[in-house]
Structure 1
Amino acid sequence: MRILYAVQATGNGHISRAMELLPHLSRYGQVDVFLSGSNSSLDPQLPVRFRNKGISLFYTKNGKINLLKTALNINPVQMLSYARQLPLQSYNLVLNDFESITSLACTLQRVPSLHFGHQASFSSPKTPRPKIKSLAGELTLKYYAKGTAAVGLHFQAYDDNILPPVIKSEIWQAQPTDKGYFCVYLPSFTDEVLLPYLSKIREHTFQIFSRQVKKTTVIGNCHLFPVEKKAFNNSLIHAAGLITNAGFETPAEAMFLHKKILAIPIRGQYEQYCNAAAMAQLGVHTLDQIDEQFTENVKRWIAMPSTVYHKSFHMPTATIIDRMMQIADEQNIITAQSHQLLFG
């Protein structure tokens, strides 16, 4: 069986999840990966066969999507040409983790696909949204990368087609401790924005994972590290808490480790406002933005008691893949030849 796994590389979360899923997905056949986007700072240790700049997101130094720069870097003619040329007929199963070119290719070539990942959970109206919905945001979640069927991942089972978050094996097997420092991962903000606020909280140490530094740098109570998977996992496992954007993978792992979380949605990224709404329901403290009150907000958050998260909605990654493949079979996404090979 041949599987094409299309992964959005506009951030580290999709890459990290794909790296964790790959060994289990490979039990079902040969996996080729298509990466689209250029925002990930992680080394994609994946069998990448196809790569395209796709739609890459750019940010201002203050954590907001730079719409003009993002738009100017989109080449729709090139994307359309690439979608037409993708050899989808060579694959028995196409998995799409919120990747727009593969979604377009499947439509043009009339090939079924399974939208699989966190964004796929928003196919259900039961998945949490912010109090004020965004029409543009809803349309993006619905049409940016759609499939024949959807299997979502989220913090809770908001609907029948939603499975638990993928927790990396290092996190799943970890013995978490509290060494008193706070782990910070806010890649949409520059160091020059964050340091003036966090450096004022001298009684606490912050381990900041930065896109801007190439080696460990210590500036007062702020320790800056390059973004690297092993170092970040270790920091999170032993941290007192996590300050991060309102993404999905990193908060899910922090909740699994029972770490207190301060989540700040990326401005202009509707999915993160949805995630913030879901996290708030689970007891996570959220902020709308970083402003002149950020230092005091962080101090108040540090003083808050830790949230107790329930671990009931978790399952091993191998089980998630098995369930996803079962749904793909039930929805006739897998070809007849592959079905016979897989399920007898």
Structure 2
Amino acid sequence: MKIFYGVQGTGNGHITRAREMAKAFAEAGVEVTYLFSGRDAAKYFDMEIFNGYRVMKGLTFHTQNGDVSYLKTAFDARPINFIKEVKALDLGGYDLVLSDFEPVTAWAAKLGNKKILGIGHQYAFNHRIPREGGDVIATSVMKYFAPTRRNIGLHWHHFGQPILPPIIAPHEPPPRSVANKIVVYLPFENPTDVVRLLTPFKAFDFMLYTPAAITSPSAHIRVKPLSRDGFQNDLYDCAGIISNAGFELVSEALHLGKKILIKPLHSQLEQISNAAALKQLGYGRIMHELDAKTIARWLENPHRVRVTYPNVAHILVRWMLDGMPPVDEDFIEASWSQVNVLQLND
């Protein structure tokens, strides 16, 4: 089987998900060509698993101080260049095209009448799941950004819909966590504002991951460059995370049993809806602005949830190799029956 796999590269969550799929494909002996779009080629890191991957400009969302700027997004879209990339993408010779919300691949497959499957969290929004913050622009973006004829949506809970659990690395939780260690990943916020916000909480050690080159004036706030291995090591034994409401990081934190505080991007349907789902499920706390009082209450609250998810990447690869039969109730139930939710208060 020969697959072409397009991955949205604007955020790291799609790439994290694709890494797990890449491992499953490699173990099954499937030949895969990877395409990433949404950021400059030089800004991708720890990409060794995607041997010989390709990069295109594609489309991306622009943010400023925690808010999506649709005006700047539209201004930088360069539709002529995007159309050229779509027309130039040759998908001939592939048995299946996959898109993790990657627009060049999705539109090239659509216009070329190729067999395509969408896999990702965004495709869960085709079903009745918690949804907030939607408007005409946001809803249109979700529908037309990377359209696929068939798709598999992913979420933290099934909500009675034909969707699957998250695709994450199946790690065992640590035997113990460092009680005062907090991982902070707020790439869409001003990092200077974040440092200022965390400075008063000197009883805690914050691992602040940011693409910005800044220096922390406080010993209890360690500013770290983006690194897959470094981030995973800190995430593994920390007590909790403070992050934007990206799907993949929250999924990993839930799987490891971490305390969660999220600050969704303004004007971003997916992140605002993720916050609503997290609140409905009781899996974490929300702050809609960078708020010291909310952080103080969250730091002192020991409640956390551990959600054990199966190896969904292996489930999906086996399903593809079996010819992608209809996703029926038995398939969905078999996947969710392996999920276990444990409430923790230590």
TM-score bracket, normalised by the shorter chain, equals 0.7 to 0.9
Distance 2:265 2:321 in 1: 32
Secondary structure of 2:241's aligned partner: strand
The 1:24/1:103 distance shift into structure 2, 3 A limit, reads same
Cα distance, 1:327 vs. partner?
7.0
Report the TM-score when normalising by structure 2: 0.86
Cα distance, 1:185 vs. partner?
0.7
* Aligned mate of 2:314, from 318, 333, 336: 318
What one-letter code is carried by the residue in structure 2 that aligns with 1:248?
A: F
Q: 2:165·2:312 contact (CA, 8 Å) conserved in 1?
A: no
Distance 1:273 1:15 in 2: 21
1:109 equivalenced with 2:117 (yes/no): no
Secondary structure of 1:4's aligned partner: strand
Identify the residue that residue 56 of structure 2 maps to in structure 1.
52
Cα distance, 1:174 vs. partner?
4.5
Distance 1:197 1:278 in 2: 26
Task: Give CA deviations for 1:213-239 in whole Å, capped at 9, x if unaligned.
Answer: 38x967332111111111111111111
Distance 2:172 2:306 in 1: 17
Q: 1:4·1:95 contact (CA, 8 Å) conserved in 2?
A: yes
Report the TM-score when normalising by structure 1: 0.86
Identify the residue that residue 11 of structure 2 maps to in structure 1.
11
Distance 1:138 1:103 in 2: 18
State the Cα RMSD in Å: 2.2
What one-letter code is carried by the residue in structure 2 that aligns with 1:139?
A: S
Distance 1:297 1:239 in 2: 19
The 1:288/1:217 distance shift into structure 2, 3 A limit, reads closer
Q: 2:195·2:216 contact (CA, 8 Å) conserved in 1?
A: no
Secondary structure of 2:60's aligned partner: coil
Cα distance, 1:28 vs. partner?
5.1
Secondary structure of 1:162's aligned partner: coil
Identify the residue that residue 32 of structure 2 maps to in structure 1.
31
Task: Give CA deviations for 1:193-214 in whole Å, capped at 9, x if unaligned.
Answer: 1011100112222111111138
Alignment coverage as a number of residue pairs: 321
Cα distance, 1:160 vs. partner?
4.9
* Aligned mate of 1:95, from 89, 95, 98: 98
Task: Please list, as runs of the form range in 1=range in 2, the aligned pairs for 1:142-221 lying within 5 A after superposition.
Answer: 142-169=143-170, 172-179=171-178, 180-213=180-213, 219-221=218-220
What one-letter code is carried by the residue in structure 1 that aligns with 2:74?
A: A
Cα distance, 1:319 vs. partner?
2.2
Deviates more, 1:17-26 or 1:90-99: 17-26
Identify the residue that residue 280 of structure 1 maps to in structure 2.
279
Cα distance, 1:263 vs. partner?
0.7
The 1:316/1:7 distance shift into structure 2, 3 A limit, reads closer
Distance 1:28 1:12 in 2: 25
Distance 2:248 2:217 in 1: 27
The 1:69/1:43 distance shift into structure 2, 3 A limit, reads farther
Cα distance, 1:20 vs. partner?
1.7
What one-letter code is carried by the residue in structure 2 that aligns with 1:238?
A: D
The 1:147/1:155 distance shift into structure 2, 3 A limit, reads same
Cα distance, 1:59 vs. partner?
2.1
1:298 equivalenced with 2:300 (yes/no): no
Distance 1:244 1:86 in 2: 35
What one-letter code is carried by the residue in structure 2 that aligns with 1:54?
A: G
Distance 1:327 1:164 in 2: 21
Deviates more, 1:157-166 or 1:70-79: 157-166
Q: 1:151·1:324 contact (CA, 8 Å) conserved in 2?
A: no
Identify the residue that residue 134 of structure 1 maps to in structure 2.
135
1:85 equivalenced with 2:91 (yes/no): no
Distance 1:66 1:238 in 2: 35
The 1:113/1:317 distance shift into structure 2, 3 A limit, reads closer
Gaps of 5+ in 2: 328-346
Secondary structure of 2:279's aligned partner: helix
Q: 1:11·1:41 contact (CA, 8 Å) conserved in 2?
A: no
Distance 1:165 1:23 in 2: 15
